[in-house]
Structure 1
Amino acid sequence: MQVLNTLKDLPVDAVYDLVVVGAGGAGMAAALFAALDGKKVLLVERTEFVGGTTALSAGTTWVPGTHHSATVNPTDTLSEAARYLSNAIGERTPAALRQAFLDHGAEAVTLAETRTEVKFRPYAKHPDYISDLGGSTLSGRALEPQPFDGRLLGDLFKLIRPPIPEFTVLGGMMVDRTDINHLLALSKNFASFKHSLKILLRHASDRLSHPRGTRLVMGNALIARLLYSLSKHPNVTLALQTRVDTFRRDAGRVTGLTLKAGTERLDVAVRGGVVLASGGFNRHPELRAQLLPGADMAWCPAGPGHTAEAHALAKGAGAVYGQGALSNAFWAPVSLRKRADGSTAVFPHFVMDRAKPGMLTVNRAGQRFVNESTSYHLFGMAMQATGSVPAYLVCDATALQKYGIGMVRPGASPKDLAPFLADGYLTQGASLDELAGQLGIDAAGLKASVQKINRYAETGVDPDFQRGVTAYQQNIGDAAAGTRNPNLGALTAAPYYALKLYPGDIGAATGFATDGNARVLDAAGQPIAGLYAVGNDMHSIMGGVYTAPGITIGPGLVFGYLAARHACARASPT
């Protein structure tokens, strides 16, 4: 693989079989599948890093029916997965698109694992998010990228977008769910001590020669595996800090484009097609105002590259956005904190705090408005639907010590808490009245809500929002807490703590309408020759419904495979 930081290194008459716009997970997958077919590939990335939002994510990849599924859930079938998607999504997206994903998911994963360094493992238990619907499962469909040794990348290691700093420990050590559980239990059993010691020593060694840890997990591991695999193909060129300025068309077909890097411009021709994988519209100011009204861009925790610059070019070629989505974006509650360098940390609250016993979320009236254990997507949507922005995640001292809250880690000492309290990220009150006063919310409402949740913790039943009734909710609670309901616990230990939550968009759900080969469609529903869209540039097959973990990365991988296969079939042999 050739890596370019200047267009001067490309020949003026460059011709490629496939050009991929955007080097996130979906774009890198499309480029890799084309490279496996022996095609000449140009991968264009507007930032200095590869990985996009995938690099910042958990990297979970939802693909039903793979060989991994059979190892943990041998009774699951594609027909059951199709039934679940139909129950969850209905007519928000074409069933044929969902079926294309299901029909080709296993072959895409198998091809990646047998011919590249991309490797997955199944979660023993990782439920579909709407786990009370028919066809849902508790395991087998969500795949996790295996950890990767970043040292194998050599100089390419610096190209991977670093993870959100607040998701790392000890100055850049990445940890996944398994690591966290071991670190929390390192003094309780030998297995956890052994695991923790191994990764801690590895990190200490890394910091002698690297700016951060090289043991990569989650989304960073997936991106590193894609990059390492691409690096083995001399027919791939990666152009960083490069933008697409124009499309060139011939008889209605996209046949080339003009690239721009700084003041340099270069025309390139393409035989098979152009794949849009630029990450969606979320950081395009006008599109954001139109599609996500009221949601401040400062609340978005996703990668910085999804500016939709290429969307205007696609629309100029006749492309249209898909319709009918439940929401134009996928959501998560986030908390915000100013970093020492002046940037803002945007921390998504996925599973570590809000669903745990001893936690509840209220609005300015001090009233609950949501099932705290629902999926982060539904949580974010509920915040907006009820006008609960900001919302307030509240816990007592016991829950804070046991689970942490947001960027505050479990087991925090008074010294650890001091900077969070000093800058206002965390609010503390010796009583609920004092906490409410500090937050500027209704004290009577807050006390009534806490009294209710305390009663519900005794019975294990939440009659207001049915917290903890599904397998998904229970899985992100704490089964070891000893409460009647793993998601419910009393708030009785002063002092009390709270932080503010905002609805953060974690990815686009609305994108370009496509067919089952990821070809972009025009207003008449006809494919635009030579133009494809994958990842968040493609209208989500989930129709704005967050059905399961990894429902952006999984389809991104599979439709990246389908787009590359279709485009490469049209390209001349190289």
Structure 2
Amino acid sequence: MSAAQASQHFDEEHDVVVVGSGAGGMAAALTAAHHGLDVLVIEKTDSIGGSTAVSGGAVWIPMNPHSREVGVEDSREAVLAYLQAILGNRMRRDMIDAFLDAGPRMVSFMESNTALRFVPRAVSPDYQSNLEGASTGGRTIDPAPFDGRELGENFNLLRNPIAEFLVFGGMMVGRKDIDSLLGIRSSWANFRDSTKLLLRYGLDRLRYPRGTRLLMGNALAGRLLKSALDRKIPLRTRTAAAKLLLDGPRVVGLEVERDGLISRIGARRGVVLATGGFPANAAMQADMLPHADQHYSMAPIGNTGDGLKLAREAGASIETDNVGNAFWTPVSVMRDRDGRDIRFPHLILDRQKPGVIAVNHAGRRFVNEAISYHEFVEAMHRAHESEPTIPAYLVCDASFLRNYGLGLVRPAARSLSRFLDSGYLVAANTVAELARKLGVDAVNLAASVAQMNQAAASGHDPAFGKGSTAYNRYLGDPAHQPNPCLGPIETPPFYAVRVFPGDIGTAAGLKTDAKARVLDDERRPIPGLFASGNDMNSIMAGAYPGAGITLGPALTFGYIAGLELANATQDEAQP
């Protein structure tokens, strides 16, 4: 049956159908629509934004147009040297070259033609900042804060951020906001800034279910949603892709299911798969992730590998040669009074601060606590091969808990009863008693605490080097000397939280080429089929070089897919 004949059986037709509404899918939709194509976005859940909306929002784009604004002179040679040091023979030069070529152009295109705006980080060290070619800033950019009121009645269409990252029941805050709120009585500037935040939030709650001052990934998703609405791109929620439709080897459309009804949608130019990978698919987790029975994902529950399954049925291939198949983070879990499991990713707020250690079941430290969340879980996996390390335990004292918080326990928390009653937070008057409650070796835990106290006094951690790199120190407490990451554990009571391996998304995905075209088992492009975001195998092969290495490639290869679908060159795409 020819494509023309197949089209007669479609209930509707568009030039492009994008499956998924995160950064990768929306970038493809916006780029294609800018070039005159008729684009439809379908989304399985009832909200727009996917994993992007609940993410930190960082976007890693080396040599981006904003780098020089913060005094950073980056170079392709430095970026390649850094990535080569991390990826080794897993570095696909064609994909990296495409990313480095198109990334800066993508930023310029989006800022000129959509509501996306970015703010550079003058200081944001790459995660392995001691390696050749690493940068201390400029490569990571953040979405500018966004006023959700610009979405009007569509504000409620945007996926909510993770509830545990909100304060006062619905207010988003950044690191600077947290400092102002905690120090509201310490300076006029803090009082002024905090009062402004609280007044804005109070007014928001008179009209909206949460605050409309959007930050991080929610700001990025909100800006993409605003851009799609401005371009009048139809966004169809509660619509699941059920099957790709083929004419010979070519993808010409797809079947979708909405409210129990199946319809056939034609895609004259192609289909873009951007469904967010498979972090919520238990069977795929068991097949592709280590220790899946003790693994906790922070990704949306709708990310069940739909794109991968559809593409496989059409002959696509999933990449298996990765250093790891997910982007790891340690996660603590609390069973709340209502029976709900609340998960918290230990990304940047506690492990790096002075006065906390991570130990395994033997009571021994096994890692530099201040390394990246991804490397922390890699260390858990390695250590577990010789000593039980899943779960591991973050151990601190009363001073640390008051100053920095621990997981779900916020700094200066007025009451700990909810966390203690649930068993999430374990407390004891002595280190020996804490060891007994945790079931870890008391002698080894006492020794680990004593060794950290010695390291704190000297400012040097001979065992694991906590605080020895620019990335470590960036997330420590700059007011604490001589090492912003090393502090004593000596003020009772003592506390601990269990942490498990988890993820913020999957890295394994569909094999694609440098034009975001999905490849079959013979590495040939499947005509009419594209992938971006976490449906596309990570160009970092499961490594995690810096903040934003998921969203940076997602936006960039979504942009590349949009250009390819429109048959536009990158030069033509410029404003």
The answer to whether the superposition gives a TM-score over 0.5 is: yes
Q: What CA distance in whole angstroms lies between the structure 1 residues aligned with 2:521 and 2:295?
A: 33
Does residue 37 of structure 2 align to residue 36 of structure 1? no
2:271 to 263, 274, 299: 274
- Secondary structure of 1:465 counterpart: coil
Equivalent in the alignment of 1:16: 14
Q: CA deviation at 1:323?
A: 3.2
Does residue 340 of structure 2 align to residue 343 of structure 1? yes
Equivalent in the alignment of 2:536: 538
Q: What CA distance in whole angstroms lies between the structure 2 residues aligned with 1:549 and 1:329?
A: 15
Contact 1:18 1:568 survives alignment (8 Å): no
Q: CA deviation at 1:340?
A: 4.6
Equivalent in the alignment of 1:329: 326
Q: What CA distance in whole angstroms lies between the structure 2 residues aligned with 1:295 and 1:366?
A: 24
Equivalent in the alignment of 1:560: 558
Q: CA deviation at 1:78?
A: 2.6
Q: What CA distance in whole angstroms lies between the structure 1 residues aligned with 2:46 and 2:75?
A: 41
Task: Give 1:356-375 correspondences, 5 Å limit.
Answer: 356-375=353-372
Which amino acid is 1:381 matched to?
Answer: E
Q: What CA distance in whole angstroms lies between the structure 2 residues aligned with 1:559 and 1:73?
A: 27
Does residue 428 of structure 2 align to residue 425 of structure 1? no
Contact 1:131 1:472 survives alignment (8 Å): yes
Contact 1:42 1:237 survives alignment (8 Å): yes
Equivalent in the alignment of 1:401: 402
Q: What CA distance in whole angstroms lies between the structure 1 residues aligned with 2:411 and 2:72?
A: 36
Q: Deviations over 1:433-492 (max 9, x none)?
A: 11111112111111010011111111222121111111001111112112x221111111
Equivalent in the alignment of 1:241: 238
Q: CA deviation at 1:301?
A: 1.1
Equivalent in the alignment of 1:452: 451
Q: CA deviation at 1:313?
A: 2.0
Contact 1:128 1:549 survives alignment (8 Å): yes
Q: What CA distance in whole angstroms lies between the structure 2 residues aligned with 1:377 and 1:315?
A: 28
The alignment-based identity, stated in percent, is 46
Q: What CA distance in whole angstroms lies between the structure 1 residues aligned with 2:336 and 2:514?
A: 44
Q: CA deviation at 1:127?
A: 0.7
Contact 1:259 1:265 survives alignment (8 Å): yes
Contact 2:277 2:306 survives alignment (8 Å): no
Under a length normalisation based on structure 2, what TM-score does the superposition of the two structures give?
A: 0.94
**Corresponding residue pairs, total:** 556
Contact 2:295 2:501 survives alignment (8 Å): no
Q: What CA distance in whole angstroms lies between the structure 1 residues aligned with 2:526 and 2:255?
A: 19
Q: CA deviation at 1:509?
A: 0.9
Q: CA deviation at 1:30?
A: 1.3
Q: CA deviation at 1:297?
A: 7.4
Tell which deviates more after alignment, 65-74 or 556-565.
Answer: 65-74
Q: What CA distance in whole angstroms lies between the structure 1 residues aligned with 2:192 and 2:65?
A: 31
Task: Give 1:154-169 correspondences, 5 Å limit.
Answer: 154-169=152-167
Equivalent in the alignment of 2:247: 250
Task: Give 1:145-544 correspondences, 5 Å limit.
Answer: 145-234=143-232, 236-296=233-293, 299-387=296-384, 388-413=389-414, 416-482=415-481, 484-544=482-542
Question: Where in structure 1 do 4 or more consecutive aligned residues deviate above 6 Å?
Answer: none
Q: Deviations over 1:229-276 (max 9, x none)?
A: 100113x21111111111111131101111111221111111111111
> Structure 1's 297 and 446: CA in aligned 2 closer, same or farther, altered over 3 A?
closer
Contact 1:331 1:376 survives alignment (8 Å): yes
Contact 1:122 1:143 survives alignment (8 Å): yes
Q: What CA distance in whole angstroms lies between the structure 1 residues aligned with 2:302 and 2:93?
A: 31
- Secondary structure of 1:386 counterpart: helix
Q: What CA distance in whole angstroms lies between the structure 1 residues aligned with 2:307 and 2:462?
A: 48
Segments of 5+ residues of structure 2 without an aligned counterpart are: 1-8, 569-575
Which amino acid is 2:196 matched to?
Answer: K
> Structure 1's 149 and 280: CA in aligned 2 closer, same or farther, altered over 3 A?
same
Which amino acid is 1:569 matched to?
Answer: N
Q: Deviations over 1:96-115 (max 9, x none)?
A: 10110000111101110111
Which amino acid is 1:14 matched to?
Answer: E
Q: CA deviation at 1:296?
A: 3.5
Task: Give 1:60-71 correspondences, 5 Å limit.
Answer: 60-71=58-69
Tell which deviates more after alignment, 487-496 or 86-95.
Answer: 86-95
Q: Deviations over 1:49-93 (max 9, x none)?
A: 111111111100111111111111332123322221122112213
Tell which deviates more after alignment, 97-106 or 191-200.
Answer: 191-200
Q: What CA distance in whole angstroms lies between the structure 1 residues aligned with 2:532 and 2:484?
A: 38
Q: What CA distance in whole angstroms lies between the structure 2 residues aligned with 1:298 and 1:173?
A: 29
Q: CA deviation at 1:341?
A: 4.3
Contact 1:244 1:259 survives alignment (8 Å): yes
Contact 1:17 1:568 survives alignment (8 Å): no
Under a length normalisation based on structure 1, what TM-score does the superposition of the two structures give?
A: 0.95
- Secondary structure of 1:67 counterpart: coil
- Secondary structure of 2:365 counterpart: coil
Which amino acid is 1:456 matched to?
Answer: A
Contact 2:83 2:545 survives alignment (8 Å): yes
Contact 2:294 2:500 survives alignment (8 Å): no
1:117 to 109, 112, 115: 115
Which amino acid is 2:505 matched to?
Answer: G
Q: What CA distance in whole angstroms lies between the structure 1 residues aligned with 2:92 and 2:184?
A: 49
Which amino acid is 1:209 matched to?
Answer: R
Contact 2:64 2:104 survives alignment (8 Å): yes
Segments of 5+ residues of structure 1 without an aligned counterpart are: 1-10
